[in-house]
Amino acid sequence: MAKSPETEHPVPAIGYASRDESGVLSPFKFSRRATGEKDVRFKVLYCGICHSDLHMAKNEWGFTTYPVVPGHEIVGEVTEVGSKVTKFKVGDKVGVGCMVGSCRSCDNCSNDLENYCPSQILTYSSKYYDGTLTYGGYSDTMVSDEHFVVRWPENLPLDSGAPLLCAGITTYSPLVYFGLNKPGMNIGVVGLGGLGDVAVKMAKAFGTKVTVISTSLKKKQEAIDKLGVDAFLVSSDEEQMKGAMSTLDGIIDTVSAEHPIMPLISLLKSHGKLIMVGAPNKPLELSVFPLLVGRKLIAGSGIGGMKETQDMLDFAAEKGITADVELIPIDYVNTAMERLLKSDVKYRFVIDVAKSLKA
Ligand code: NAP
Ligand code: ZN
Ligand code: ZN
């Protein structure tokens, strides 16, 4: 008989798990593996709440394995390292993002693109090499092969920096890869949520001008005053959208739900690029004609490799980029999820795990 989550490994752990498609999270006892020779064990201090956690807790993408302990923006302090660990020592501050394993030998892995490895192992709800389920950062303790652990830059705050581990790399990577990081370019960011906030900051740090495309005026004033965005469009305002036609070199679309993309394609200049990073669970409608006429491109992008994640963190530390966060205790997580669904957070919830999760 298969062992239970609580007994399959030697190290006791507690967390919050969703056990079915209601997505409701509740306390969950499980276990973590012993520290292997290449493993880093750490006490979780903070964990961001990404909208992917919500999609997964409710099985909206159809591949959740329950019970799921979400959380892939995990920051902590090292408590133990394996005998062959070279990059970390006890007491170091570290982070783990969206993945904890990959094949390490395919073309993508060989090119520092573990995020595109067909055998990528996600931080939660994935099967680890040993066949057991992975559990994420809504938990007191974490263990990961050092290859999938990043060094925390000294001057980067732990709480407001945590979201960089997913929101940061997911927006930094396509800006760089698609050449949307040239000073003076005009970049659009669709959806001012957790990813959108960091996308704006990354794009501004690259020296581009930023237009936010949002569903309402609610976030406008703060976006201009605090984030320094150069323009703010409400997507349902046809006049405004028309006035901004053919003005953008590239767009990062972070929207988590079904939404029209044809008006976004109209905002692009010829040869402009629409990069999808949001992951709605329903197909979007696309008419190709406007793509042909302007040689426009639509592409997708998924997180980033480990080397690039470290580069991104170092870049964020150098430029002073963190997320705007609302720090919450873990027993607030269900309310936080409800508010996240209503876009009622500026702009990322971060769980104060160490303070609020007690065995
Ligand atoms: P979030 O904080 O909820 O932000 C999404 C934003 O999209 C909202 O704040 C809202 O912005 C806008 N929005 C929501 N519903 C909308 C609708 N029906 N129509 C138009 N706009 C809508 O979520 P997040 O954590 O940033 O994640 C965003 C998406 O990216 C999720 O689907 C997540 O799974 C995905 N994701 C992908 C990757 C990747 O590797 N590609 C990595 C992380 C996350 P306004 O209020 O401004 O309209
Ligand atoms: Zn995420
Ligand atoms: Zn691989």
Going from the Cα of 302 to the center of ligand 3, the distance in angstroms, rounded, reads 15
**Cβ distance 198 to 51 under 8 Å?**
no
Decide: 195 in ligand 1 pocket, CB within 6 A.
Answer: yes
Question: Which protein residue has the closest C-alpha to ligand 1 atom 29?
Answer: 278
Q: Which among 302, 303, 291 is positioned nearest to 96, based on CA atoms?
A: 303
Decide: 264 in ligand 1 pocket, CB within 6 A.
Answer: no
Read off the pLDDT of residues 224-235 as tens digits, 9 standing for 90 and up. 999 999 999 999
Going from the Cα of 317 to the center of ligand 3, the distance in angstroms, rounded, reads 29
Give the closest ligand to the alpha carbon of residue 344: 1
Question: Which protein residue has the closest C-alpha to ligand 1 atom 35?
Answer: 278
Decide: 259 in ligand 1 pocket, CB within 6 A.
Answer: yes
Give the closest ligand to the alpha carbon of residue 340: 1
Please tell me the predicted confidence (pLDDT) of residue 139.
98
Decide: 14 in ligand 1 pocket, CB within 6 A.
Answer: no
Read off the pLDDT of residues 332-354 as tens digits, 9 standing for 90 and up. 999 999 999 999 999 999 999 99
Going from the Cα of 183 to the center of ligand 1, the distance in angstroms, rounded, reads 26
What's the CA gap between 117 and 106, in Å, rounded? Answer: 7
Q: Residue 302 CA: which ligand 1 atom is closest?
A: 40
Read off the pLDDT of residues 112-136 as tens digits, 9 standing for 90 and up. 999 999 999 999 999 999 999 999 9
Going from the Cα of 170 to the center of ligand 1, the distance in angstroms, rounded, reads 12
H helices, E strands: number in the chain: 12, 17
Task: For CA atoms 168, 171, 143, 152, give the dihedral sign.
Answer: negative
Decide: 52 in ligand 1 pocket, CB within 6 A.
Answer: yes
Concatenating the DSSP letter of every residue in 212-238 gives EEESSSTTHHHHHHTS--SEEEETT-H
Give the closest ligand to the alpha carbon of residue 347: 1
Give the closest ligand to the alpha carbon of residue 120: 3
Decide: 194 in ligand 1 pocket, CB within 6 A.
Answer: yes
Please tell me the predicted confidence (pLDDT) of residue 112.
98
Q: How far apart, in Å, are the Cα atoms of 204 and each of 133, 138, 182, 211, 212?
A: 39, 31, 10, 10, 12
- Ion ligand 3 neighbours, Cβ < 5 Å: 102-103, 106, 109, 117
pTM value > 0.95: yes
Read off the pLDDT of residues 191-237 as tens digits, 9 standing for 90 and up. 999 999 999 999 999 999 999 999 999 999 999 999 999 999 999 99
Decide: 284 in ligand 1 pocket, CB within 6 A.
Answer: no
Is residue 1's pLDDT more than 80?
no
Give the closest ligand to the alpha carbon of residue 194: 1
Please tell me the predicted confidence (pLDDT) of residue 28.
98
pLDDT confidence bin for 359, thresholds 50/70/90: confident
Mean pLDDT of 22-36: 98
Instruction: Tell me where in the chain the CATH 3.40.50.720 domain(s) lie.
Output: 167-300
Please tell me the predicted confidence (pLDDT) of residue 3.
85
Pick from 113, 255, 285 the residue to mutate for probing ligand 1's pocket: most ligand atoms within 8 Å of its CB: 255
- Average of per-residue pLDDT values in the chain: 97
Read off the pLDDT of residues 247-276 as tens digits, 9 standing for 90 and up. 999 999 999 999 999 999 999 999 999 999
Fold observed for domain 11-166+324-356: Quinone Oxidoreductase; Chain A, domain 1 (3.90.180)
Read off the pLDDT of residues 280-296 as tens digits, 9 standing for 90 and up. 999 999 999 999 999 99
Going from the Cα of 75 to the center of ligand 2, the distance in angstroms, rounded, reads 14
Q: Which among 98, 223, 251 is positioned nearest to 167, based on CA atoms?
A: 98
| Tokens (6 digits) for 97 | 């993002």
Going from the Cα of 103 to the center of ligand 3, the distance in angstroms, rounded, reads 4
Is residue 24's pLDDT more than 80?
yes
Read off the pLDDT of residues 303-328 as tens digits, 9 standing for 90 and up. 999 999 999 999 999 999 999 999 99
Instruction: Tell me where in the chain the CATH 3.90.180.10 domain(s) lie.
Output: 11-166+324-356
Decide: 35 in ligand 1 pocket, CB within 6 A.
Answer: no
Decide: 303 in ligand 1 pocket, CB within 6 A.
Answer: yes
Fold observed for domain 167-300: Rossmann fold (3.40.50)
Cis check: omega of the bond before 67, within 30 degrees of 0: yes
